[in-house]
């Protein structure tokens, strides 16, 4: 069942590691395939080389790849419109965004998603990226042999996690990465806003190395094993603490700026801050964020449902969270619909590869069907050809019988039709009636059938294809009866009949009508 099943790959390309989640979409739902993570040892090497090695090492499927454009290359806005018709929004969103960006509209790619609103209004989460950034990112992936079908917006794509994890209500997802932290606000399980902060685990390590006079490897080990906090929220590195303090301030700031969307203070409207990403496991980071933001904070845990837990059981949910969200984007469970693969960047499938692998059974069935259709058509043509030959032979024999003095034409059926048409034309021209008699012939025969001693007068005579109608004046009723009998005694007047009532005039004469049906010669025989 190749057309009913597909493997999807969510590819999270970080500055420190590459993470991949491969799932299989079937008619019954999702099945786990593999969760993989690979460090970027040489960060100066082209990303294409690292990706090629990663894909080859783990034999990852690259038919349905989803990636995300980095958050620092994407701008997100929450817009309100007094309508929610999609055609109108398609036209209105780009122009609304144009007034808020320092670029020409033709230099950017805009996409949007309806995230709320009333019956006659729409709340739209819109994203924008420069075309040159999209082009460069796609070129790197193409060189690696990982052409994505979908290029999402980092941040908003995290909204796909709601279909797998218990992320009910309103909450803020915080993806703490190696070089940056990405925020995504979920409102009623829909991503409505995102923001990227240029602070991540690497800056914390560098700050610890400076403040504690350690090498980067030793500082990284100290951060991972002991954390940066001591008693309370004091720290061994004031620099690292200031970086975390900035992250906390940005979290509070974005929530305050969206209080009009939340419907009140964030402390009462946001149910939880959920941490994910590689640096989310920093010791007591959840406690620190909760204390500074005044909102309960937890790390992303395994899904509650057994089916969901089975999908991510092979890895750390917090670490693989972004890659899981990307993989879910290509499934029936997708929540977001952003895609920067538009216009000249639109995905174009390699149909030869698709035909060779996925459509091969369908192609074989189609070939068999075409073969059967061709055989059936050939058989029908042969049968009809033999039938036509028989009819042509019959037409030849008929033509020879009817026209023995004429040579047989190449197309006797056509010649017969033409002869019939010519005969009908002559009949119409000459006025032929029953027995192939003309009107003059009929009048002559009528005169011959009237005895010389029978005193009658034809006052009106009407001849058509089927009947002769005559208005007759006779001396008496005996003459009427005698005329009728005389006409009936010989064809073509055997059907002669007095019609209507007879009328006697003052002088004693009788006036009456006589009808004579006409029959063709073959009817009389």
**pLDDT tens by residue, 102-135:** 888 899 999 999 988 888 899 999 999 999 999 9
Looking at residue 192, its pLDDT comes to: 92
Conformational region of residue 431, where left means phi above 0, alpha means psi within -120 to 50, and beta covers everything else = left
pLDDT tens for 357-371 read 556 677 788 788 888
Domain boundaries, the chain: 1-74+127-164+305-358, 166-300, 368-430, 432-524
Instruction: Work out whether the CA dihedral 138, 73, 278, 159 comes out positive or negative.
Output: negative
Question: Which CATH number applies to 166-300?
Answer: 3.30.420.40
Contact 321, 158 (CB under 8 A): yes
Burial class (CB in 10 A: 0-12, 13-18, 19+), 309: middle
CA distance 447 to 22: 108
pLDDT range class, residue 97, cuts 50, 70, 90? confident
Q: What angle do CA 521, 499, 493 make, to 5 degrees?
A: 20
HSE, CB side, 13 Å, CA atoms: give it for residue 50.
Answer: 22
Q: For a pLDDT cut of 70, what percent of the chain falls above it?
A: 91
Q: Which CATH number, 3.30.1360.100, 3.40.50.970, 3.90.1150.10, 3.10.20.70, labels domain 432-524?
A: 3.30.1360.100
Of the ranges 57-61, 189-193, 457-461, which one carries the lowest mean pLDDT score? 457-461
Of 349 and 284, which is predicted with more confidence?
284
Of the ranges 43-47, 270-274, 516-520, which one carries the lowest mean pLDDT score? 516-520
pLDDT range class, residue 458, cuts 50, 70, 90? confident
pLDDT tens for 309-321 read 998 888 999 999 9
Whether 432-524 and 1-74+127-164+305-358 are alike in CATH topology: the answer is no
Of 202 and 432, which is predicted with more confidence?
202
Looking at residue 2, its pLDDT comes to: 41
Alpha carbon 492 to its chain's center = 75
Looking at residue 3, its pLDDT comes to: 44
Alpha carbon 131 to its chain's center = 27
What mean pLDDT is reported for the chain?
A: 86
> Quick one: average pLDDT of 206-232?
92
CA distance 177 to 304: 25
> Quick one: average pLDDT of 183-187?
94
> Quick one: average pLDDT of 241-259?
94
Question: What is the CATH superfamily name and number for domain 1-74+127-164+305-358?
Answer: ATPase, nucleotide binding domain (3.30.420.40)
Residue 481: Cβ within 10 Å count: 12
Looking at residue 432, its pLDDT comes to: 52
Strand order across the 497-504 sheet: 456-463, 467-474, 510-517, 497-504
Alpha carbon 261 to its chain's center = 34
pLDDT tens for 473-482 read 888 878 878 8
Q: Write down the residue that tokens 């796609």 correspond to.
A: 138
Within 8 A by CB and 6+ apart from 509, the residues are: 473, 474, 475, 476
Query: Is 80 exceeded by the pLDDT of residue 430?
Result: no
Q: For a pLDDT cut of 90, what percent of the chain falls above it?
A: 50
């Amino acid at each position: 069942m190749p057309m009913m099943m597909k493997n999807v790959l969510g590819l999270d390309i970080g500055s420190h590691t590459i993470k991949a989640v491969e799932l299989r979409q079937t008619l019954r739902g999702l099945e786990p395939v593999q969760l993989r993570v690979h460090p970027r040892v040489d960060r100066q090497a082209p990303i294409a080389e690292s990706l090629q090695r990663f894909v080859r090492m783990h034999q990852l499927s690259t038919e349905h790849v989803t990636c995300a454009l980095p958050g620092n290359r994407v701008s997100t806005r929450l817009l309100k419109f007094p309508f929610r018709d999609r055609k109108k929004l398609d036209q209105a969103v780009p122009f609304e965004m144009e007034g808020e960006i320092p670029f020409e509209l033709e230099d950017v790619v805009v996409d949007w998603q309806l995230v709320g609103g009333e019956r006659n209004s729409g709340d739209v989460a819109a994203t924008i990226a420069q075309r040159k950034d999209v082009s460069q990112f796609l070129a790197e992936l193409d060189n690696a042999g990982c052409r994505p079908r979908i290029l999402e917006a980092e941040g908003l794509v995290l909204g796909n996690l709601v279909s797998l994890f218990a992320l009910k209500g309103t909450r803020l997802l915080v993806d703490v990465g190696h070089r940056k932290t990405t925020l995504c606000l979920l409102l009623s399980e829909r991503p409505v806003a995102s923001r990227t902060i240029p602070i991540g685990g690497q800056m914390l390590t560098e700050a610890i190395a400076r403040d504690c006079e350690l090498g980067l490897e030793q500082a990284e080990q100290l951060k991972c094993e002991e954390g940066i906090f001591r008693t309370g929220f004091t720290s061994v590195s004031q620099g690292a603490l200031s970086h975390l303090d900035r992250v906390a301030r940005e979290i509070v700031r974005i929530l305050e700026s969206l209080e009009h969307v939340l419907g009140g203070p964030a402390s009462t409207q946001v149910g939880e801050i959920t941490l994910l990403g590689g640096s989310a496991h920093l010791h007591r980071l959840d406690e620190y964020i909760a204390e500074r933001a005044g909102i309960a904070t937890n790390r992303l845990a395994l899904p509650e449902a057994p089916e969901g837990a089975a999908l991510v059981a092979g890895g750390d949910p917090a670490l693989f969270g972004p890659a899981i969200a990307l993989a879910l984007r290509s499934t029936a469970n997708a929540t977001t619909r952003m895609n920067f693969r538009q216009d000249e960047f639109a995905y174009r499938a390699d149909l030869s590869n698709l035909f060779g692998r996925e459509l091969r059974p369908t192609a074989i069935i189609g070939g068999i069907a075409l073969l059967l259709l061709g055989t059936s058509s050939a058989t029908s043509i042969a049968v009809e050809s033999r039938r036509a030959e028989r009819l042509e032979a019959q037409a030849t024999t008929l033509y020879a019988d009817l026209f023995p003095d004429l040579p047989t034409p190449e197309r006797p059926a056509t010649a017969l039709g033409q002869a019939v048409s010519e005969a009908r034309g002559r009949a119409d021209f000459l006025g032929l009636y029953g027995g192939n008699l003309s009107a003059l012939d009929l009048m002559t025969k009528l005169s011959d059938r009237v005895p010389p001693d029978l005193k009658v007068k034809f006052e009106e005579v009407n001849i058509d294809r089927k009947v002769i109608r005559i208005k007759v004046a006779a001396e008496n009723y005996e003459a009427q009866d005698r005329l009728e009998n005389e006409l009936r005694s010989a064809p073509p007047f055997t059907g002669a009949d007095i019609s209507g009532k007879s009328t006697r005039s003052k002088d004693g004469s009788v006036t009456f009508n006589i009808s004579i049906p006409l029959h063709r010669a073959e009817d009389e025989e």
